[in-house]
Amino acid sequence: MGETRDYAVKMHHVTKTFGKVVANKDVDLELKNGEILALLGENGSGKTTLMNMLSGIYFPDYGDIHIHGIPVTIRSPKDAFDLGIGMIHQHFKLVDVLTAAENIVLGLDGKTTVNRKELNKKVAELASRYGFEIDPSKKVYNMAVSEKQTVEILKVLYRGADILILDEPTAVLTPQETEKLFAVLRNMKADGKSIIIITHKLHEVLSISDRVAILRKGEYIGVVETSETNQDQLTEMMVGRPISLEIERPQLERGEKRLKVVDLTCLNGDGIKALDNVSFSAYSGEILGVAGIAGSGQKELCEVIAGLYPTIGGAVLYTDEREDGPVKESILGLTPDQIVEKGISMAFVPEDRLGMGLVADMDMTDNVMLRSYKNNKGLFVDRKTPKKVAEQLIEEMEIVTPGVDTPVGRMSGGNVQKVLLGREIALSPSVLIVAYPVRGLDINSSYRIYDLLNEQKKKGVAVIFIGEDLDVLMELSDRVMVLCGGRVSGIVDPRKVTKEDIGLMMIQVNEQKEEEDV
Amino acid sequence: MKVKSTQIKEPLLRMVKRDAVSPKKAWEIRAIAFLLSLVTGGLLILVLGHNPLSVYKSMVVGAWGSKTVMYETVKLAVPLLITAIGISFAFKMKFWNIGAEGQILVGAVAAGAFGLFTAHIFPKLPLVILMLLAGMAAGGLYGLLPAVCKAKWGTNETLFTLMLNYIALAFIKYLMNGPWKAPGSSFPKIAMLVPGARLTKVLGVHWGWILALVLVVAAYFYFNKTKQGYEIAVVGESNDTARYAGINVSKVFMRTMFLSGALCGLVGMLQFSGADYTITEGTAGGVGFTAITVAWLAKMNPYGMLIVSIFIAMLERGSNTIQTNFKIPASASDLLIGIILFFMLGCEFFITYRLILRGKEEHHG
């Protein structure tokens, strides 16, 4: 260990509990001056909690913090600012109707009047120093996600922070934007800033950081030099045992065209087109991946097909050549129960698991019957069958819960997702739509989910998989459809394109590329 | 610098969410809260110059001491209980129906339309049935109105139902002063229901209490065993989840609010034909609001509402007694009830959270 002065941050024996949950247990973390430290860990391993204590949002139960060698008490975000610590959160905290520059100075001491011209110049100077591309007078509501992130970073830099914490900054970026961000981070490092970047993407850790600190289940596992490690070692430290990172993609003969979507157009709450002439087909026995920057129309697409979102044009046609006679239906505009009445079993795992897919306060039995309680004749609900299904799910899906009577809201994210996906699969669907199914899940649960999706594919289900991790999308999907601003910018074979190709399609629609209906 | 240095400036008091609390522990907390409320109320009584123990004793005796006062207590509890059950239908789906007062009043008026003007045509049984159905239908429709508007145009049900209370009240004033004014009376008042049409008493109180007990069981059954009850619970948790599950949210709003209003309307009919025998501005008498307290204290559980409504009826009866026996002003005895309810509602916070004093938490590490 070097001289105390060499370290921008030293956290020792830091412990934080929430009720009985120990979020951080006796964690040590050291950030050298002028380095980029990656803080790696699975969801729920306590990365964000630890950083929130550094930025004054939480107060540690125990432990001490040294900044530049001086012991400090950080009671509020203001204390953290005064110490030169700035955190860029996953969820941006910007005022939509103000410009970039206005957001940057918002809340700072100063004169009652603002000289916008001078302010814009100062912000532009700061931005160019680190290589940001930004128009200081642009309103936040006109900005893309990556621009908003830039504003957040500049806000922190403008306040003179020399210790920056970025919480999963790449989760919302395309590969190209990620590269740009990394270039900026390297510039900042060269300028003497010390940076902590929270992430769970291993290849990013390897490309940007100098050292990697690993947390597992709230405990500090260790720190390694990035140059001396590799993905396998990091995974093992993160998960606790070696694990294969291969995602299977069973090669199957593609089945019939199950779902044909034609020129789907719908509006969002502001009257802007959330989907714009979206056309594609989903086939039985394949996984169709859907890529795109967050908010490119993925949510609307899922909900339109599931019968939950109004459209202003287009068609959704369903075909199923079943043994008991073919089913051909136009399902656009039908409500979920009308779709069921047509004899179509459409499973949908929405993005908002506890706000749409499940009822947090209800137990597993009541949640299992959410989609099937109407099957029972008469006035009363039948809880016996769903209870059996719930017990079966616990066993088959290895769900960890005290029992079928525990509210699902009390279960961990991975188990909640298993309940939801398990219930939907139990419907024996012919179409399965999953939106961000592994968000917030640990590696193990994620791979279990991929397996389940592959199982459904093998059964001849048409799987539509909305994802955010391009690596996963490209390994798991048979075809990848890329959305950009509500339009389809292409449907590609992931074996024949690179990640960068898809990244480009995520930010611009290539007009020549018409959908090849293969 | 040693490790302890950062501990010094820990906040003085912190709130920490408890893990699931065992029922036993929860009841302990409630019992402590009740005792504390009695102590605090006792201080108030001392300040007024009375012995707290004898005042409390007289409250209990005033509510349960003799058959006559017992009947009065039960008569207070019946409308509270049925109204609480009624609004819990709406509250369970997070539809804030604070219009029970109005629904009670229109129920009473509809019952009155038959009771006051057709008593000479129909024999008692069909008349009572007519009054019952009319009261429930009127209350139900009065509850349906805000539900329809919410389903169609997304209106705010809290304001809507509150305003309907005033309309119902004004309507009764109009009836009292105008078309329904009792013949020969110099006061603006509505005539009395003829004795032959009044509800039969069972064990000293009109049979509404039996109906109330039946409704407790029926409501519990409805909430927990029927598809409609399940739908209410899902809608209450999340409209999005309900739509996802194929539930027609508007339909559930309307159906449930009709039931909610109908039960409140039933209360109006019972009050008219079983307790007051006439209709005044005081027919609802704040029951519609007190019932909100009942429903919340009972956490929307009908059996809990049975206990809470009897408890509150007892407090009200008791407070009347101490007003006469000790010459304690009405405002002070209301304050006493307020103190007790404040503690009972407030202790729910301590069941969910615990407070930690600086330095009291044991440290890990």
CB atoms within 10 A of CB B332: 17
Task: For residue A36, give its domain range.
Answer: 4-239
Q: Is the pLDDT of residue A516 over 60?
A: no
Distance (Å, whole) CA B168 – CA B102: 5
Partners of A379 on chain B (C-beta within 8 Å) are 226-228
Q: Nearest-CA distance from B257 to chain A in Å?
A: 19
Q: Residues B297-355: pLDDT tens digits?
A: 898 999 999 999 999 999 999 998 999 999 888 888 889 889 988 998 888 888 888 77
**What secondary structure letter does DSSP report for B194?**
P
Residue A245 domain flag: no
Residue pLDDT, tens place only, A115-143: 889 899 999 999 999 988 889 999 998 88
Q: What CATH number corresponds to the domain at position A450?
A: 3.40.50.300
What is the distance in angstroms between the Cα of A13 and the nearest Cα belonging to chain B? Answer: 7
Residue by residue, DSSP assigns B302-327 as HHHHHHHHHHHHHHHHHHHHHHHHH-
B5 contacts A379? CB cut-off 8 A: no
Buried/exposed B273-290: b ≥16 CB within 10 Å, e otherwise: bbbbbbbbeebbbebbeb
Q: Which residues from B are below 8 Å from A20, CB to CB? A: 19
B227 and A374: CB-CB below 8 Å? yes
3-state helix, strand, coil in chain B (%, to 5): 70, 5, 25
Please report the sign of the dihedral spanned by the C-alpha atoms of residue A192, residue A197, residue A202, residue A204: negative
How many Cβ atoms are within 10 Å of A140's Cβ, its own excluded? Answer: 18
Is B361 touching A (CB cutoff 8 A)? yes
CA distance B257 to A440: 39
CB contact under 8 Å between B241 and A366, yes or no, is no
CA separation for the pair A37, A31 (Å, rounded): 7
Q: What is the mean pLDDT of chain A?
A: 89
Angle at B88 between CA B83 and CA B89, to 5 degrees: 105
* CB atoms inside a 10 Å sphere around CB B312: 24
In angstroms, rounded to a whole number, what is the distance separating the alpha carbons of residues A148 and A346?
37
Amino acid at A172: V
Query: Looking at the partner chain, which of B230, B233, B240 has a beta carbon nearest the beta carbon of A356?
Result: B240
Terminal-residue alpha carbon distance, chain A: 60
Mutation site for B-interface testing, chosen from A356, A365, A410 by largest number of B Cβ within 10 Å: A356
Alpha carbons A21 and A384: distance in angstroms, whole number: 33
The pLDDT of residue B11: 62
**In the block, residue with structure tokens 């509510």:** B63
| ipTM for the assembly | 0.83
Chain A nearest-CA residue for B363: A62
Q: Residue A350: pLDDT band by 50, 70, 90 thresholds?
A: very high
Asked if B76 contacts B317 with a C-beta cutoff of 8 angstroms, the reply is yes
**Residue A246 counted as domain residue:** no
A219, A264: one domain: no
In angstroms, the separation between the Cα of residue B219 and the nearest Cα of chain A is 13
Q: Which residues lie below 8 Å from residue B178, measured CB to CB, with a gap of 6+? A: none
Q: Please report the pLDDT score of residue B365 as a whole number.
A: 32
A249 in a structural domain: no
Question: What pLDDT shows up at residue A467?
Answer: 92
Asked which of A207, A239, A271 is the last residue of a domain, the reply is A239
Q: What is d(CA B300, CA B96) in angstroms, rounded to the nearest whole number?
A: 13
Which residues of A are less than 8 Å from B10 in CB distance?
Answer: 59
Q: What is the three-class DSSP state of B53?
A: helix
A354 and A424 co-located in one domain: yes
Same domain? For A281 and A418 the reply is yes
Choose among A63, A369, A380: nearest Cβ to B226.
Answer: A380
Are B293 and B167 spatial neighbours (Cβ–Cβ below 8 Å)? Answer: no
Residues 6+ apart with CB under 8 A from B22: none
* Cβ distance of A355 and B245 shorter than 8 Å: no
Do A195 and A298 fall within a single domain?
no
Residues B288, B260 contacting (CB under 8 angstroms)? no
CA distance B261 to B140: 4
Considering the domain boundaries, does residue A250 fall inside one? no
Residue contacts between A and B (CB atoms, under 8 Å): 111
Contact (CB<8Å) B225/A381: yes
Taking CB atoms and an 8 Å limit, are A356 and B241 in contact across chains?
yes
Domain membership flag for residue A515: no
Kindly report which listed range (A192-196, A399-403, A490-494, B212-216) carries the lowest average pLDDT score: A399-403
Q: Which of chain A's residues have a Cβ under 8 Å away from the Cβ of B228?
A: 379
Say which DSSP state B197 is in: G
Q: Which residue has the tokens 């999340």?
A: B238
pLDDT of residue B183: 85
For chain B, give the number of residues.
365
A490 and A351 assigned to the same domain: yes
pLDDT, mean of residues A297-309: 94
Looking at the structure of chain A, the number of domains it has is 2
Asked if A359's CB is within 8 angstroms of B16's CB, the reply is no
CB–CB contact B241 A373 (8 Å)? no
Strand order across the A479-484 sheet:
A346-349, A431-435, A462-466, A286-291, A479-484, A487-492
pLDDT digits (tens, 9 = 90+) for B130-145: 999 999 999 999 999 9
Nearest Cβ partner of A71 from B1, B10, B234?
A: B1
Q: What is the mean pLDDT of residues A67-74?
A: 90
Among A17, A64, A410, whose Cβ lies nearest the Cβ of B6? A64
Q: Average of pLDDT values for A58-78?
A: 90
- Contact, A349 vs A419, CB < 8 A? no
Q: Distance between CA atoms of A193 and A387, rounded to whole angstroms?
A: 56
Shortest CA gap B291–chain A (Å): 25
Of A19, A61, A355, the CB nearest to B364: A61
The pLDDT tens digits of the residues spanning A143-200 come to 888 889 999 999 999 988 999 999 888 877 888 888 999 999 999 999 999 999 998 7
| Chain A residues with CB-CB distance to B232 below 8 A | none
Q: Both A283 and A206 in a single domain?
A: no
Which residue is closest to B222 within chain A, CA to CA? A380
Pair of tokens at residue B152: 């169609």
A183/A308 same-domain check: no
Residue A518 lies in a domain: no
Question: Are A234 and A261 contained in the same domain?
Answer: no
Distance CA B72, CA A90 (A): 61
Q: Find tokens 């030169």 and name the residue.
A: A84
Yes or no, beta carbons of B246 and A335 under 8 Å apart: yes
All structural domains of chain B: 66-332 (1.10.3470)
Query: Tell me: the pLDDT tens digits for A426-441?
Result: 999 999 999 999 887 7
Residue of B nearest to A383 (CA): B225
B1 shares contact with chain A (CB less than 8 Å): yes
Which residues make beta-bridge pairs with A386? Answer: none
Length of chain A: 518
Check: CB of residue A59 under 8 Å from CB of residue B11.
yes
Please name the amino acid found at residue A201.
Answer: K
Residues A115 and A61 in one domain: yes
Q: Assign A489 to helix, strand or coil.
A: strand
* Whether residue A270 sits in one domain with residue A235: no
Would the pLDDT of B6 be above 50?
Answer: no
In a domain, A59, yes or no: yes
Task: Give the residue carrying structure tokens 């009292």.
Answer: B176
Q: Is B6 on the interface with A (CB under 8 A)?
A: yes
- Same domain? For A123 and A262 the reply is no
Q: Decide if A517 is inside a domain.
A: no
Q: For the residues A493-498, what does the mean pLDDT come to?
A: 94
For B:208-247, CB contacts with A below 8 A are 225-230, 233-234, 237-238, 240-241, 243-247
**Mean pLDDT computed over every residue of chain B:** 90
**B3–A contact, CB cutoff 8 A:** yes
The confidence score (pLDDT) of residue B153 equals 92
Last residue of a domain, one of A185, A207, A239: A239
Residues A332 and A197 in one domain: no
Q: Using one digit for the tens of pLDDT, what is the confidence trace for B79-91?
A: 999 999 999 999 9
Q: Please give the Cα distance from A215 to A14 (Å, whole number).
A: 13
3-state SS class at A163: strand
* Interface touch B237/A362, C-beta < 8 Å: yes
State whether B364 and A374 contact (CB < 8 Å): no
Count of beta carbons in the 10 Å neighbourhood of residue B12: 8
Task: Give the pLDDT confidence of A1-32 residue by residue, as tens digits.
Answer: 445 568 999 999 999 987 777 889 999 999 99
Domain finish residue from A184, A210, A239: A239
